Amino acid sequence: MIEAKNLSKSFEDIKALDSISATIRDGNVFGLIGTNGAGKSTFLKILAGILKPESGEILIDNESVFENINAKEKFFYISDEQYFFANTNAKEMMKFYSSVYKNFDTLKCEKLLAALDLGINRKINTFSKGMKKQLCIALGVASNTKYLLCDETFDGLDPVMRQAVKSLFAKEMDERGLTPIIASHNLRELEDICDHVGLLHKGGILLSKDVSDMKLNIHKIQCVFETDFDMDRLKSLDIMQMKNSGRVYTITLKGEEEEIRAKMEEFHPVFFEIMDLSLEEIFISETEVYGYDIKKLIF
Amino acid sequence: MTSKSLFFKLLKEDFKVRIWTLAVSILIFFFSHIVGTAMMLSMYKYNRAFSEPTDLLSYKVEFVQTFYSYIGIKNPLFAFIFVVLAVIVAMSGFSYLYSKKKVDMYHSLPVRREVLFFVKILNGILIVILPYIVCSFIASLLVLVNMGDAGIIVTTFFSVAEWILLFIFNYTIVIFAIMLTGNMLIGILACGFLNFYAPAFSQLISGYESTFFDTYYEVGFIAEKVLLKLSGIMVIFGVFDGRLREKMLIAVVGSIVLLVINLLLYRKRASESAGKSISFNIIKLPIKFMIVIFMSMLMYLFGYEMMSNSIAWGVFGAVSAGIITHCIMEIIYNQDFKKIFAKKLQMLICIVISLFVAAVFQFDIFGYDRYIPKVSDISSAAVVSDFLESNASQYFNEMGFHNETRYDSITNIEYASDNDIESMLMREMNIKDKEAVVALAKLGVANLSSEWRADSISERVLISYKLKSGKKVQRVYNIDFDAAIKELSSIYDDEGYKTGMYPILSEDSKNIVSVDFNGIKDNDKHLTSENGDLAKLTEVYKKELMSLKYDTKVKSYPFASIRFNDVDAQKILDAAYKDRGNYSDYSPDSKYADLMDDVGYYPVYPEFKETVAMLKAMGVDLKEKMSVEDIDRIEVSEFNPEQIETYYDSYNETGTKVFTDAKDIEEILDKVVVCDSPYKEDLNEDVNFNVLIYLKSDVSDAYGGGLQYHFKRGDIPENVK
């Protein structure tokens, strides 16, 4: 488990993180969302032991990370712009990481590279941005660390490759309990992969919740009522947002799905259906509660 | 994975990344050592083909000597190569600290920073020294095969070891610069700062002292000497006058200290400092102050001297340099031109400090020139002046085998510079009569404000005090001889002065294995134990030298010189004689007396009666003056314009008067200071007249010139007027 307790970090006059506390449970995919400059990379760099926090601490399995080799052996950090040695190829990078990570699985890495169609002897400087990201993921997964810290790793991956990586993560989580921690400024990228999402804004955590909890409690329904339907009856629902186009209403509301379904049936609508909410919609709804216009924050 | 295996794995991986630096290193040493030596050998063989068989040995010796000079510690080519390589390998190893991308990768790895540090350090050293060692020994093997001298391997070994130490010292300096900075350009500037600031500041202070202090002594404060050596570049290029051991000591101690500091900085350095100008904010202010004040003070001096000692121009230089330098520093620190006028108060403080320091020197605010310590504060003192001894170099030049080559048949004299001699005398001499020294200093201070007189004989006098506090103080005065005779007498007659000046007085007489007597013309003799008791002769001479009074020294004239050789000196003289070869006109007795005659000769005064008697008893046919019968003619010429006007009538058009009459010659000989020996004392000679004595034996010699002497002071014979 990773615990961040009151983490603060400044760069000269700029406060990058301001007393952040968060818990990242093992076996989940943790998504860290925020605009550029929100502090996502700083958080991940502190988590990776690259930066030293000014105050607070970050613990990986109850061990402090900074300059602690035991803790550092438990993760592989993929930065938003990963460094590869000059004029080198995937094979050489593989050798390098295998000399650093004691559980590095060279065979697995070779298989992944082959599956991703990345030439093992091809010079990395001839790779596209997306290919470099894939290479990082392959190296990270093959290092067999408990945690994989990904900073904007999905940025640059095509949808097919994103799905492939998600499957890969799922497989690794299933087989050996990998915990990926993914930072991104794009909520849509994390929508169908994250179990838990933290929203960072101006160095502080605005929200940190399980996606399933959020999805269980927020629903969207589309319905059409009789013309003489008394709209005041809807007040018995915990409505967060309601829009209509003619007689077609789209309502976002809180509550258990069965309870909502039962109440709606009591209203005898002409038509109603419960629709899936995107993570984005959930976030909009949740953050509006705190008085933020989330669209301005992350889209 | 053990940390040991991780270390070597990382070493290997890092080596692969830096392979290009290895290629550079190999290329440099292949061409500079192997190809260079092959070219030298080729030239040697070409020249040898045109040589006489008798010259082959000297050619060989010369070649070996050239080779030693080439690979030796004083070759500036290799100093340059090692400085450049130090920068290349340090930057290739640690420049990742300048890139956020690279730092993120390296510092996220489960590797201790210390391990990473030593991997980078060690690889940098290996990349340079492995090709260097291999190429050096291949080069020495080439020479060995062609010259057949196994000593080459030993010399190469020493040279390699010395260069490696100097390289590592410079390498650690570059790494230090990298640790302090956040981008490569600033890192290179920091290298320049670390290498040149301390010596440049030392020179600046010396410049201020010599410009504004009348009694300033060249060697300066201890701090200046230390500052001068606080630079890898200065040490590796041998710019400061340091001995080999001193250089090596500085290199070893400096490397170790810097290695520890670099490791601490490396651990302390924040990853986010990559890309910034300076990686530790705490050093920004002191570095800025150091540079701005230095530039401001430099330009004060420049403006002052260039505009004929104008204080106004000095102030203009200081202010403008202070502003410009501060602006540049702020641009560099902030990496933003808009910050050019940031921190104006600090700029003002820097300029005020510079002007204050300049004023301290300019107006001698702390009374440097007039400072004389109290007698009660002085532990001991030393005085160095030609008034007291003008032949000091005889006792501080050293004969020896060639230092650079360690080739045991090549001898040389290592000449001590004036600074060396004075430094040694100031260190060794302990004059007990401190009152006399202080009185002499007071004369010097009084002389500062007095006007120069044409009729006075004045001379530079260096006074050094060792204070009871441990501090050392040196001052140089210009002192009038006539006014200072009493003080000079007290100082010369002091046992501490003589023991410091004349090493023979501290030498055990039993160590003397030979004595060289060097007299008028060929009146030379090499005495060994076969001629008599050399220890006794030495003791007698020491007693008479110690008893020699300044009054006698001033009035009398040494007619010969004497040298006391111990076993080592005799060995060197034997080797030097062998080097010189057997010349037919080289008389057996004078063969040693004339060799290396810039070293170790003491005066023989007529007043040294016991010494003279013993020398005669040991078979020296001692001549105290020239014989009239041997002289063909004497030519007297004089230079003083006033004298020429006075005596012009009796002289020819070139201002020369020739004497051939025996009576005239006799009269002149009585008044001439005749000393052909290495020890020469012109303290009491009249240098206005030049006396050239032509011997009958030299008349037939086409190149036989006259022997040049001077009259005794105040004792000009009537017949030359």
With cut-offs at 50, 70 and 90, classify the pLDDT of residue B701.
low
Q: Which of B501, B526, B554 is the last residue of a domain?
A: B501
Domain match, B168 and B40 both: yes
CA dist., res. A112 & res. A127, Å (int)? 16
CB B351 within 8 A of CB B296: yes
A11 touches chain B (CB under 8 A): yes
**DSSP-derived secondary structure for A125-187:** GGS-HHHHHHHHHHHHHHTT-SEEEEESTTTT--HHHHHHHHHHHHHHHHHH--EEEEEES-H
Q: At what angle do helices A90-100 and A106-115 cross, to 10 degrees?
A: 150
To the nearest whole Å, the CA of A187 is away from the closest chain B CA by: 25
Give residue A299's pLDDT: 46
Half-sphere exposure of B403 (CA within 13 A, CB side): 10
Give residue B256's pLDDT: 96
A81 touches chain B (CB under 8 A): yes
Domain that holds residue B585: 504-617
Looking at every residue in chain B, the average pLDDT score rounds to 86
Q: What's the whole-number mean pLDDT along residues A7-29? A: 87
Domain match, B433 and B562 both: no
Nearest CA in chain A to B99: A83
pLDDT single digits (tens) B142-167? 999 888 777 888 889 999 999 999 99
With cut-offs at 50, 70 and 90, classify the pLDDT of residue A277.
confident
B2 touches chain A (CB under 8 A): no
Structural domain includes residue B552: yes
A96 touches chain B (CB under 8 A): yes
Structural domain includes residue B207: no
**Cα A285–A287–A288 angle (5° rounding)?**
65
Domain match, B351 and B479 both: no
Domain match, B332 and B470 both: no
Instruction: Determine whether the interchain pair A72/B108 forms a contact, defined as Cβ–Cβ distance below 8 Å.
Output: yes
CB A251 within 8 A of CB A202: no
Instruction: Determine whether the interchain pair B10/A67 forms a contact, defined as Cβ–Cβ distance below 8 Å.
Output: no
Domain match, B156 and B288 both: no
Q: B456: Cβ–Cβ under 8 A, 6 or more apart, which residues?
A: B480, B481, B482
Percent over 70 (pLDDT), chain B? 90
What is the third-level CATH fold of A2-202? Rossmann fold (3.40.50)
B9 touches chain A (CB under 8 A): yes
Give residue B652's pLDDT: 64
Structural domain includes residue B368: no
To the nearest whole Å, the CA of A21 is away from the closest chain B CA by: 21
Give residue B644's pLDDT: 53
Interface test with B, best of A81, A85, A88, A135 (most B CBs within 10 A): A85
**Cα B561–B595–B537 angle (5° rounding)?**
40
Instruction: Determine whether the interchain pair B13/A96 forms a contact, defined as Cβ–Cβ distance below 8 Å.
Output: yes
- Chain B residues closer than 8 Å to A45 by CB: 104, 108, 271
Among A residues 221-240, those touching chain B with beta carbons less than 8 Å apart = none
Inform me whether the pLDDT recorded for B415 exceeds 80: yes
Instruction: Determine whether the interchain pair B17/A50 forms a contact, defined as Cβ–Cβ distance below 8 Å.
Output: no
B111 touches chain A (CB under 8 A): yes
Domain match, B559 and B597 both: yes
Among A residues 130-159, those touching chain B with beta carbons less than 8 Å apart = 149
CB B208 within 8 A of CB B190: no
Spell out the SS3 assignment of A45-110. Answer: HHHCCCCCCCEEEEEECCEECCCCHHHHCCEEEECCCCCCCCCCEHHHHHHHHHHHCCCCCHHHHH
Q: Which of B273, B296, B316 is the last residue of a domain?
A: B273
To the nearest whole Å, the CA of B109 is away from the closest chain A CA by: 7
Structural domain includes residue B509: yes
Token pair in block for residue B595: 């060799």
In chain A, which segments carry CATH 3.30.70?
A: 214-298
In chain A, which segments carry CATH 3.40.50.300?
A: 2-202
Inform me whether the pLDDT recorded for B61 exceeds 80: no
A276 touches chain B (CB under 8 A): no
Instruction: Determine whether the interchain pair A50/B271 forms a contact, defined as Cβ–Cβ distance below 8 Å.
Output: yes
Domain match, B237 and B350 both: no
Q: What's the whole-number mean pLDDT along residues B78-103? A: 94
Inform me whether the pLDDT recorded for B1 exceeds 80: no
- Chain A residues closer than 8 Å to B272 by CB: 11, 51
- Chain A residues closer than 8 Å to B271 by CB: 45, 50-51
Instruction: Determine whether the interchain pair B6/A99 forms a contact, defined as Cβ–Cβ distance below 8 Å.
Output: yes
pLDDT single digits (tens) A193-235? 788 888 887 777 777 878 777 777 788 899 998 888 888 888 8
Inform me whether the pLDDT recorded for B279 exceeds 60: yes
Give residue B406's pLDDT: 42
* A23: enclosing H helix or E strand: strand A14-24
What is the third-level CATH fold of A214-298? Alpha-Beta Plaits (3.30.70)
Give residue B407's pLDDT: 45
Beta-sheet pairing, B685-695 with B631-638? antiparallel
In the block, residue with structure tokens 């260069």:
B163
With cut-offs at 50, 70 and 90, classify the pLDDT of residue B413.
confident
Instruction: Determine whether the interchain pair A83/B270 forms a contact, defined as Cβ–Cβ distance below 8 Å.
Output: no
Question: In total, how many domains does chain B have?
Answer: 5
Give the least confident one: A2-16, B75-89, B157-171, B279-293: A2-16
Q: Which of B501, B531, B548 is the last residue of a domain?
A: B501
Q: What's the whole-number mean pLDDT along residues B38-53? A: 80
Highest mean pLDDT among A30-34, A163-167, A241-245, B96-100: B96-100
Instruction: Determine whether the interchain pair B105/A79 forms a contact, defined as Cβ–Cβ distance below 8 Å.
Output: yes
Give residue B103's pLDDT: 94
- Chain A residues closer than 8 Å to B111 by CB: 69, 72, 100
Q: What is the distance, to the nearest Å, from the Cα of residue A132 to the centroid of all Cα atoms in its chain?
A: 20
Structural domain includes residue B111: yes
Instruction: Determine whether the interchain pair B9/A49 forms a contact, defined as Cβ–Cβ distance below 8 Å.
Output: no
Structural domain includes residue B419: yes
Give residue B404's pLDDT: 46
pLDDT single digits (tens) B104-121? 999 999 999 999 999 999
B58 touches chain A (CB under 8 A): no
Domain match, B254 and B341 both: no
pLDDT single digits (tens) B504-528? 999 999 999 999 998 887 778 888 8
A52 touches chain B (CB under 8 A): yes
CA dist., res. B220 & res. B241, Å (int)? 14
Structural domain includes residue B215: no
Give residue B241's pLDDT: 59
Report the DSSP beta bridge partners of residue B562.
B517, B602
Domain match, B497 and B508 both: no
Highest mean pLDDT among B13-27, B57-71, B632-646: B13-27
What pTM was estimated for this model as a whole?
Answer: 0.74
Instruction: Determine whether the interchain pair B111/A69 forms a contact, defined as Cβ–Cβ distance below 8 Å.
Output: yes
Structural domain includes residue B166: yes
B414 touches chain A (CB under 8 A): no
Give residue B651's pLDDT: 61
| Interface confidence (ipTM) of the complex | 0.85
A85 touches chain B (CB under 8 A): yes
Give residue B250's pLDDT: 86
Inform me whether the pLDDT recorded for B719 exceeds 80: no
Give residue B408's pLDDT: 46
Dihedral (Cα; B370, B371, B376, B377), 10-degree rounding? -170
Domain match, B265 and B390 both: no
pLDDT single digits (tens) B334-377? 989 999 999 999 999 999 999 999 999 999 999 999 999 999 99
